[in-house]
Amino acid sequence: MAFRDGAEALERLKTDETLELVVTALELPGLGGLELCWQARTLTSQRRQLYVIAMSSSHDHRRLSEALDSGADDFISKPPNPYELSARLRAAERWLAAQRELMLLATRDGLTGILNRRAFIDQASTALDNAQYEHTPASVIMIDIDHFKRINDRFGHEAGDRVIQQLGSLIGGDGALAGRLGGEEFAILTVGLREAEATAEANAIRCAFAATEFRCDGSPQFVTASFGVAEASDGDCLSELLRRADHALYAAKASGRNRVIAATRIRLADDHGDAAALASIDSDRHAA
């Protein structure tokens, strides 16, 4: 797509994160090409890469240096030779493909394909900040597979991996902001859902997971998981929200497992929780 000037191109880059390649002349009206290169480079992040090719009719080597220092990845004379431009575009696509692969490896859990811990914390923190700014409700669901060590000990790590993959597939669909925090522990940030709604969603996942049959050593096996849910309060950061959801998850474990408990149902004696108080929670255990 073509733009009339640098300002129009920059505005589109800001609003359309699917754009990955910029080809710009340095001699532009209004917002100059060097400024566009620099502004485009500020838009790059862990989740977005841009490749910038600058063009100029000037053969001044200082002009080339300025373009590269301003954020351009490549430089070509104007008007470009069609064969040279095509070759440089192919090189840009190879670079972008390599960057996409690196970002995938850096942000995705290798076993489940959902976000890894670092990427989840990063993306969920941003999403929560945006929700707070827009006064939109948001809740966290924390999940831990019940008696997971027994699965590994009895049937081996391959069976344990299949269990983890199944839970990952249940929580990672439809663009959900879900991540594997480590081992058998997972988290989901649900923007737009109050605690009661997130609790209902968590219970639907719990039932689907508990109903999944795993074939281990030729016999059917069923595995359950426990869930803790917490809704963000005004000014909450992600770490505080995760802490409250983790206390609710602890309560679900302490009161029998295979259940969902919301943070508002818990009375904590201190920041670490009181096991006796948690175990005494009147929690309804739904049949899987």
**How far apart are the C-alpha atoms of 245 and 262, rounded to whole Å?**
8
Cβ-contact 40, 32 below 8 angstroms:
no
Q: What residues act catalytically?
A: 184
**How far apart are the C-alpha atoms of 156 and 143, rounded to whole Å?**
22
**How far apart are the C-alpha atoms of 151 and 161, rounded to whole Å?**
10
12: left (phi over 0), alpha (psi -120 to 50) or beta: alpha
Closest CA to 67 of 86, 52, 51, 57: 52
Q: Count CB-CB contacts under 10 A for residue 232.
A: 23
